[in-house]
Amino acid sequence: DGGITQSPKYLFRKEGQNVTLSCEQNLNHDAMYWYRQDPGQGLRLIYYSQIVNDFQKGDIAEGYSVSREKKESFPLTVTSAQKNPTAFYLCASSPGTANEQYFGPGTRLTVT
Amino acid sequence: AQTVTQSQPEMSVQEAETVTLSCTYDTSESNYYLFWYKQPPSRQMILVIRQEAYKQQNATENRFSVNFQKAAKSFSLKISDSQLGDTAMYFCAFMLTYSGNTPLVFGKGTRLSVIA
């Protein structure tokens, strides 16, 4: 079955630790995206990548980093510089221009 | 920059009734798409309906339809014959289409409760 997987579903970390969230897709989509969801805030764009080895910052990129070494994978690292990392993180992909995005099931990150 | 506004944080509707969710957006561009996504309690984002800005005809998908008013920059979602499974957060989203894959810009969402 084609789709987008995010792992793990729930992730717990201590403050000051970096953590990497996984996003994999087998849809052969060119573009991939990371969004953050907080209560009452909707979804906000962290980073996106239109092709392999290229990515752009979104509206709230500070404290996050990404890589796109393979078409299928777009991992997100939440660094210790992110002031308030506890949130629900959604990964998405799209096949081409002017197409809807397909979303993964999300990862709930809790930092204490 | 594009913005999307959903002015109704929460709404409720009786089962089998009709409900309309509002969405307005702001852009100076002429080529774009608009979407409604549904996020049920599972938190999986599901596409409900899409509208191309160059099309005058309003999109419909079974019980879901939109009222797209381009001049007014309004894009409301009508759900007919509401069902308990329609209970979810609904997000309006905007996407430019002038080049490449562009990110979605989301509104803050409307929480819809369908009451038996």
The nearest alpha carbon in chain B to A30 belongs to: B101
Q: What is the pLDDT of residues B16-54, one digit of tens each?
A: 999 999 999 999 988 899 999 999 999 999 999 999 999
Mean pLDDT to the nearest integer, B53-76: 95
Which residues in chain A touch residue B99, judged by CB atoms under 8 angstroms apart? 97
Residue with tokens 């944080």: B9
A27 vs B66: CA distance, rounded Å: 29
Nearest chain B CA: its distance from A103 CA (Å) = 6
Chain B positions touching A58 (Cβ under 8 A) are 103
Question: Nearest residue of A to residue B50 by CA position?
Answer: A100
What's the CA gap between A102 and B70, in Å, rounded? 25
- Which among B33, B47, B91 is the nearest to A43, CB-wise? B91
Say yes or no for a CB contact (<8 Å) between B95 and A44: no
Would you call A94 an interface residue with chain B, using a CB distance cutoff of 8 Å?
yes
What digits encode the pLDDT tens for the residues A38-56? 988 889 999 999 999 999 9
Residues in chain B: 116
How many angstroms separate the CA atoms of A61 and A46, rounded? 5
- What is the model's pLDDT at position B22? 98
- Report the alpha-carbon distance of residue A3 to residue A6 in Å, rounded: 10
Would you call B50 and A100 a contact, using CB atoms and an 8 Å cutoff?
Answer: yes
A97 has a pLDDT exceeding 70: no
Per-residue confidence band for B96, with pLDDT thresholds at 50, 70 and 90? confident
Mean pLDDT calculated for residue range B50-69: 94
Q: What pLDDT band is residue B99 in, cutting at 50, 70 and 90?
A: low
Percent over 70 (pLDDT), chain A: 96
CB-CB neighbours of A47 under 10 Å: 22
For residue A95, pLDDT beyond 90:
no
Q: Distance between CA B29 and CA B52 in Å, rounded? A: 13
So what's the pLDDT on residue A81? 87
Question: Does the distance separating the beta carbons of B43 and A97 come in below 8 Å?
Answer: no
- Per the CB < 8 A criterion, the answer to whether A23 and A72 are in contact is no
Distances (CA, A) of B21 to B5, B30, B33, B105: 11, 23, 18, 17
Nearest CA in chain B to A48: B103
pLDDT at site A88: 97
**Helix or strand run (H / E) with residue B65:** strand B64-69
- Would you call A98 an interface residue with chain B, using a CB distance cutoff of 8 Å? yes
Sheet holding A64-66, edge to edge: A4-7, A19-25, A76-78, A64-66
What percentage of residues in chain B have a pLDDT greater than 90?
86
